[in-house]
Amino acid sequence: MARKKIIVIVAALACLALTHPCVAQQTSGSMLEGFEFVDREYTELFYMLSLYSGISISADDTVSGRATFRCTGQDFEQAFDLFLRSQRLYVIKSDSVWTVTRLLFSQPQKDSSLWQMDASDMTPSRIVEKIAVFFGCEISYDTLPDTPVSIHAEGNSARQFVASLVRQLGNGYSLSEDSGFLRIVREVQVTPSQRTAVNTSSRTCSVTGSASSDSFCVDAQNVTVSELLEKLFALTGFQFVFSSVAQNQIQHIVCKDVSFAYLMNLLQEEYAVQDVVVNDVHYIVGAGQWKQYVLSFISAEKCVSLLAARFGKLDTVLLPGTKSFLCKASDAIHTQIESFLGLCDIPLSLYTVQLQYITVKDLLQHLPPAISAPAITQTTQDTQFFFSGSDAEYELLCSLLETLDTPVKRVRYDVLIIQYQNTDDFSWEQSLSANRLKLGDKNDVSALLGSVLSLNLNVVSAFGLDFAASLQSALNKNYASVFADTTLYGVSGNTISFRNTNTYRYRDNNIDPATGKPVYTGVTREIVSGLTLEITGWVSGDGMITSNITASVSRQGADLSKKTGNPPPTSEKMVTTQVRAKSGEPIILSGLVQNETSSAEQGVPLLSQIPGLGMLFKSLSSSKEHTEMVIYLVPHWEVDSTEEDASDEKQWTVSRVITELIPEVCDEK
């Protein structure tokens, strides 16, 4: 393994040496001779060093740029630390990951609450952001300078570190605290050319002139640059966009009969603002080397984000409605930006993709991380979209669609619901008759299955011939009745509902406290009774069907609202279960039992009321009804015609054999 690792490292270093002036030399005895990096990106350097050392070395968002470094030595860690010191960088080391950064929080004494912060060549705004993240507090600030600074500070709170940074920024900034929130406030700085003997308490802003003659008069005191320019552009009729630099304060400026160009040059020299004109729109930005970049294929927003990842933070201004932007940088950076745009601003291939089973909306909801949502544009059809990307990205999308664009599994439930009842009767009649049994009377024990064959054959055949015979006998003797015989279809993962109910409406009454009689309130209510069946089934990868089944049976009693003002009584039985079975394997749900007792009395008026003798003139009857609802389910996985043809053929053959066998058994009996 060690030999293989050395071969891989040597091959990688050889490739880097051929393509880049970046070399890490190594002797035949695996002893490090030194490093030589010539104007290379940090990311490339850390990648090569990771290959050599076997340690994952990466940089955080504070590290960007290029480096040149040469050293000799025999210890990798010592040489790496020397490289970091030469580049003013720091490293956070763990067992297998080293993270390079420009800002490091360390704790010299582990049992102390004192922290040290070291930051090198970072802008003040980035330092403030890192302090806020480390201490988990909120810090706001006015416009801070873009000049990188280095700082070493100690403390145990965010306020102490921010105060150290403010002291380094100079007298133009101060730190304020309100209810635990920190804010860096920028104070107005006045240049010597702006200092005049006028009264600073007065505030004026007067701009007069004509754009046709290109002559303007300005008298402004204690106003911002944006306030002055707004009045100037109102006279010229030019369109304008201001950046944050336009908030610089003007102490006092007086100009008479000057041109527009002269006035803009004066503001650029004295107040560090610059007028960049693009498509007749004046962009007031900070002074510097600005250049407009016009893109052909990618958007300006995406390009700016790519530049930030490649070159770090740049001053950019997006031009609305166009594929272009302004960027401030040095001549060397502008040259690198032009080369970089030549690589990223390229046309992308456009593909039309037709989905078969899912919609574009479903695809976007379950889009894999390897595919970006902006690359997909939906057409007027729900199952068609345009994909913009490289050939490799399109091939990756097609391979992923083989897993995503698949038909939804369907589930079928054959349902047979039988209601079994048993009634115990007691009767006292006025007369009694008895018939002698004739010789030859006997119990009829033959089972006729003709009516059973008219039921759901999949359910009957799944439970066998004994079930069919006993069911036929119960139907003939009125011990059982068919409550429902149906087939339910659904999609795997969705709920199937079956209801066989009655809706009873009654008037809501209240008892009048004065008369004791029910009074109609004007409200009509409903009571729903009967059978409710809900099934949620899904097919797992091994073909098993898991079903969540909820069944309830409710019954409504006699309406007593007219007499008592109370709603009709109701009773309900419910059973909930989860079953996992194969396709075609039967399921039985029982336990939905209802018991009801009823009594009736009839008699001859007056005579039936005589004590003792009244029993001869009346009849009594009572019954106890025991009812049980049994649900027979047979789940099936509805596969496509192209899937499992052999399994479908086998299942059809078994059903045909049972169908042919049942009449033969009936004929024998």
183-236: pLDDT as tens digits: 888 865 555 444 444 444 568 888 888 888 888 888 888 888 888 888 888 888
Q: Predicted confidence band at 9 (pLDDT cuts at 50, 70, 90)?
A: very low
- Report residue 598 CA to chain centroid gap: 58
Q: How far is residue 613's CA from residue 616's CA, in Å, rounded to a whole number? A: 6
Q: What is the percent of the chain where pLDDT is above 70?
A: 75
The partner residues of 208 in beta bridges, in order of sequence, read 217
Average pLDDT, the chain: 76
The three-class DSSP label of residue 331 is helix
Nearest-CA neighbor of 216 among 194, 236, 200?
A: 236
pLDDT of residue 223: 85
- Higher per-residue pLDDT: 146 or 22: 146
Question: Which of these ranges, 7-16, 352-361, 363-372, 389-398, has the smallest mean pLDDT?
Answer: 7-16
Q: How far is residue 161's CA from residue 117's CA, in Å, rounded to a whole number? A: 8
Q: Kindly state the average pLDDT of the residues 278-301.
A: 84
Longest pairwise C-alpha distance within the chain: 142
DSSP calls for 418-483: EEEEEEEEEEE-S-----PPPTT---------TTGGGS-HHHHHHH-HHHHHHHHHHHHTTSEEEE
- CB atoms closer than 10 angstroms to residue 406: 11
pLDDT above 70 (res 564): no
Cβ atoms of 250 and 194 within 8 Å: the answer is yes
- Higher per-residue pLDDT: 443 or 101: 101
pLDDT above 50 (res 665): no
Let me know if 357 is exposed, middle or buried by CB neighbors in 10 A (0-12, 13-18, 19+).
exposed
pLDDT of residue 597: 65
Question: Which of these ranges, 98-107, 494-503, 544-553, 607-616, has the smallest mean pLDDT?
Answer: 607-616
End-to-end CA distance of the chain: 79
pLDDT above 70 (res 256): yes
Side-chain-side CA neighbours of 521 within 13 Å: the count stands at 14
pLDDT above 70 (res 156): yes
34-77: pLDDT as tens digits: 677 777 888 888 888 888 778 888 888 888 888 887 776 667 78
Q: Predicted confidence band at 566 (pLDDT cuts at 50, 70, 90)?
A: low
Cβ atoms of 318 and 275 within 8 Å: the answer is no
pLDDT of residue 101: 92
> Token pair of 555, please?
């019954």
Q: Predicted confidence band at 650 (pLDDT cuts at 50, 70, 90)?
A: very low
pLDDT of residue 197: 41
pLDDT above 70 (res 430): no
The three-class DSSP label of residue 403 is helix
- Higher per-residue pLDDT: 616 or 550: 550
Q: How far is residue 15's CA from residue 18's CA, in Å, rounded to a whole number? A: 5
pLDDT of residue 461: 66
Cβ atoms of 66 and 312 within 8 Å: the answer is no
pLDDT of residue 191: 52
Q: Predicted confidence band at 440 (pLDDT cuts at 50, 70, 90)?
A: very low
